Structure 1
Amino acid sequence: MPDDPPLIQSLRTAVAAAPADVPLRLHLAQLLLEADRSDEAVAEAAVALQHAPGDAQARALMARAMGAPPLSPPAEHPRPRTGFDWKAAEDQVGDAVPPRFAATPVRADGLDDSADADAWDVEDPGTVRLADVGGMQDVKDRMDAAFLAPLRNPELRKLYGKSLRGGLLLYGPPGCGKTFIARAVAGELGAAFLSVSVNDVLDMWIGNSERNMHEVFETARRQAPCVVFLDELDALGAKRSRTAHSGMRNVVNQLLSELDGINSAANEGVFVLAATNVPWDVDNALRRPGRLDRTILVLPPDGPAREAILRYHLRDRPIENVDLGKLVKITDGLSGADLAHVCEAAAERALLDSVRTGTVRMIGMKDLLAAANETVPSAEPWFASARNVAMFANEGGMYDDLVTYLKKRRKL
């Protein structure tokens, strides 16, 4: 602006040249705030938060400039604010980054030295537990009964001859937290976490894909106890009848071999969890007893889970008069990804309105309701496909839990 002091003019020019430079923008916002130009300071802090949502300095400056109150729980559903793991909630809606395939160490003579070091990055799930999963109590109860409870008491495990290994398949619509649940299981077991997708395994050279799959399990055996998470199992373990002339057939064969182990003790301490949106496309041999024989349906988040996800995505944004209880009710059926989009769209509405009017305003309930009403549940196409499977391909009651849910929601 023409009447800006020289320093502010210079900073405006610098910010225009480097709009993603958060510290520079926050310096400008600080000077504007000290000059009693709060609206302009808020605008700069808001842009900074768009580039760095978790930046503590930007959040503090925003609070000083606007005096924005923190989001409080609705009166009809009081909940303590302390101790909630926001990072866990973020992971639950699919923001977790899978481990990357690391370069295999090469010796001076040109031969790989994979025997001396693991070629896969193994993660530590830290303190994430099933208790950090918002809501979804039915899923957690079934997970505990089918997978965790038999492993928590070593004496009873010995008494009943329960092996310290196992496999579990999570299925359901996309964006509903299957990856986060797998991490929580690793945390419950105190195990390392190794996430694998088809892009990590597949290789253009003959034999390398099978070798990569073998190395995944060799790494897990060396790092035991370890949870191997096979993401998009329908790609890694597609029905071999459909891949007769594809290299993926050999990958499925290799995966079956690794799940069985060379002998009965080979996979001791290796827990295999897999996730898929289309379990009906997974090779039947992968689901036979002793492999991925236990199945859990992971559905769109329930009320408590939606509250946790919405609270996370509104945490770093300037809001006022938000009735979280009402918002939770009207977003029934939305996935975690859908809920993230609702918050993003509401922020966009407020931002554009601020640009048009020239006055920065808070995100209100009107913005959130409009965004929620405009968001089409992304899981609906999945349920349309799943409905046909539940009606005509439920051999042996494999999808009874899906049938129950569809009937409850009057989709069947």
Structure 2
Amino acid sequence: MPDDSPLLQSLRTAVAAAPADVPLRLHLAELLLDAGRSQDAVAEVAVALQHAPGDARARDLMARAMGVPGQPPAPRPGFDWKAAEQQVGDVVPPRFVEAPARADGQDDPGGADAFDVERPGTVRLADVGGMQDVKDRLEAAFLAPLRNPELRKLYGKSLRGGLLLYGPPGCGKTFIARAVAGELGAAFLSVSVNDVLDMWIGNSERNMHEVFQTARRQAPCVVFLDELDALGAKRSRTAHSGMRNTVNQLLTELDGIDAAANEGVFVLAATNVPWDVDNALRRPGRLDRTILVLPPDGPAREAILRYHLRDRPIENVDLGKLVKVTDGLSGADLAHLCEAAAERALLDSARTGTVRLIGMKDLLAAAKDVVPSAEPWFASARNVAMFANEGGMYDDLVAYLKKRRKL
């Protein structure tokens, strides 16, 4: 860089003493520009623009320094989106090309008609470990009449109504529903509150209707209403009219469950809190059959533990002993126990540098740390069993609590 003249040196000293003095800095930049030192002028103008972004003199000096006298710097050419789209068209599919959504939400692609209906699966009740009482009640209340149409006709057994599974979380209600669908050789359509509720007035009811229309088109089909307490909450406690209308729509659909148009449509529902479900949903002809699904018994725990340990490296595992120490754990608790035991062995192998198998020591230690997740549910259910068992609705729950000495 050429040496500064005495004037430029003096101006630089003054600018250094007053760095925020924009006119003084621009005067220095102008002298530098007149001296043919465009780069030095650009540097000084850039600092001036930081202090005064809208200064017209600074912008004009920047344009001159950039080689466009009297005009601002030319803008960069716009990005060629069309050319870029052609370059990546074979890799990235088109996005955001649909027509604008309607203001009333009627063309929402996430509606019930967009649900994926699972084709008949291979899961059967035989795949459900233990729980013989539950299987026997399913057979008597639901499956036997369906398998024997002639006997059903002889005894006047109606298929009207659906089945409600209730009990603590993590005990396999959804798996049992899939097993029932497998026994029937029916498709499976699982529905939750997120699939039905919509922000637009009237769309939630439409979605509920479309759920059943989809099931009718795919018959034989099991409609599984997950978390029924959210889909069918007591209307007396519901302040929002839209939610009440959704429950009304569900009642309408259930009322037609034995109509000709609904032939081959079977309704199952699950909830952890049946006492929060609208009483009208449990009226005869709707979800009038109720089955309590409890934490797995001994044979069920053995089957669940065997399933979760089948692909893990184990040695000398005494399943009988493990079944005894896991009494009261839910299916989800047992899965977590196996995961925790595997984690203990993995971390130990990582620390020592020697791979070892999962043993009883790991499993028993994990079982000791697992807190039964069903206990809070039983604490709430105990009050219901004691003070809200009108008509014997929860007699099976009362019997279980007495057997476990929780009542």
Question: Would you say same fold, with TM above 0.5?
Answer: yes
Residues of 2 paired with 1:305 and 1:207: CA distance? 44
Map of 2:214 onto structure 1: 219
**Which letter maps to 1:403?**
V
- The question of whether the paired residues in 1 share the 8 Å contact of 2:124 and 2:182 is answered with yes
Three-state SS of the structure 1 residue aligned to 2:260 is coil
Three-state SS of the structure 1 residue aligned to 2:223 is strand
Of residues 223, 245, 251 in structure 2, which corresponds to 1:250?
A: 245
**Which letter maps to 2:268?**
L
Of residues 141, 148, 154 in structure 1, which corresponds to 2:136?
A: 141
Map of 1:186 onto structure 2: 181
Residues of 1 paired with 2:385 and 2:188: CA distance? 32
Map of 1:174 onto structure 2: 169
**Which letter maps to 1:159?**
L
Number of equivalenced pairs: 305
Of residues 350, 363, 378 in structure 2, which corresponds to 1:368?
A: 363
Of residues 137, 146, 150 in structure 2, which corresponds to 1:151?
A: 146
Map of 1:328 onto structure 2: 323
Residues of 2 paired with 1:289 and 1:165: CA distance? 8
Of residues 224, 228, 234 in structure 2, which corresponds to 1:233?
A: 228
Map of 1:319 onto structure 2: 314
Deviation of 1:134 after TM superposition, in Å, equals 0.4
1:346 aligns with 2:341: yes
Deviation of 1:263 after TM superposition, in Å, equals 8.2
- The question of whether the paired residues in 2 share the 8 Å contact of 1:331 and 1:372 is answered with yes
**Which letter maps to 1:258?**
E
Residues of 1 paired with 2:374 and 2:359: CA distance? 27
**Which letter maps to 2:127?**
D
**Alignment of structure 1 residues 293-308 onto 2, 5 Å:** 293-308=288-303
Map of 2:285 onto structure 1: 290
- The question of whether the paired residues in 2 share the 8 Å contact of 1:164 and 1:268 is answered with no
Percent of aligned pairs with the same amino acid:
93
Query: Deviations for 1:320-372, whole angstroms, at most 9, x for unmatched residues?
Result: 11111100111010001100111111111111111222222111100100000
Residues of 1 paired with 2:243 and 2:359: CA distance? 50
Three-state SS of the structure 1 residue aligned to 2:222 is strand
**Alignment of structure 1 residues 45-64 onto 2, 5 Å:** none
1:281 aligns with 2:281: no
So what's the TM-score if we normalise by structure 2? 0.71
- The question of whether the paired residues in 1 share the 8 Å contact of 2:160 and 2:257 is answered with no
Of residues 366, 374, 395 in structure 2, which corresponds to 1:379?
A: 374
Alignment gaps of 5+ in structure 1: 1-105
- The question of whether the paired residues in 2 share the 8 Å contact of 1:221 and 1:269 is answered with yes
- The question of whether the paired residues in 1 share the 8 Å contact of 2:186 and 2:221 is answered with yes
Question: Over aligned residue pairs, what C-alpha RMSD do you find?
Answer: 2.3
**Which letter maps to 2:365?**
A
Deviation of 1:318 after TM superposition, in Å, equals 1.2
Three-state SS of the structure 2 residue aligned to 1:170 is strand
Q: Structure 2 vs 1, CA of residues 270 and 262 (structure 1 numbering), >3 Å: closer, same or farther?
A: closer
- The question of whether the paired residues in 1 share the 8 Å contact of 2:314 and 2:357 is answered with yes
- The question of whether the paired residues in 2 share the 8 Å contact of 1:165 and 1:267 is answered with no
Three-state SS of the structure 2 residue aligned to 1:341 is helix
- The question of whether the paired residues in 2 share the 8 Å contact of 1:234 and 1:281 is answered with yes
Deviation of 1:267 after TM superposition, in Å, equals 2.2
- The question of whether the paired residues in 1 share the 8 Å contact of 2:196 and 2:208 is answered with yes
Residues of 1 paired with 2:239 and 2:107: CA distance? 32
- The question of whether the paired residues in 1 share the 8 Å contact of 2:161 and 2:258 is answered with no
- The question of whether the paired residues in 2 share the 8 Å contact of 1:165 and 1:268 is answered with no
Query: Deviations for 1:102-150, whole angstroms, at most 9, x for unmatched residues?
Result: xxxx99xx99699xx9532111242221111100000000110111111
Map of 2:256 onto structure 1: 261
Residues of 2 paired with 1:235 and 1:353: CA distance? 44
Q: Which one has a bigger Cα radius of gyration?
A: 2
Deviation of 1:306 after TM superposition, in Å, equals 0.7
Q: Structure 2 vs 1, CA of residues 263 and 162 (structure 1 numbering), >3 Å: closer, same or farther?
A: closer
- The question of whether the paired residues in 1 share the 8 Å contact of 2:130 and 2:300 is answered with yes
Map of 1:78 onto structure 2: none
Residues of 1 paired with 2:120 and 2:126: CA distance? 14
Residues of 1 paired with 2:236 and 2:391: CA distance? 21
Three-state SS of the structure 1 residue aligned to 2:385 is helix
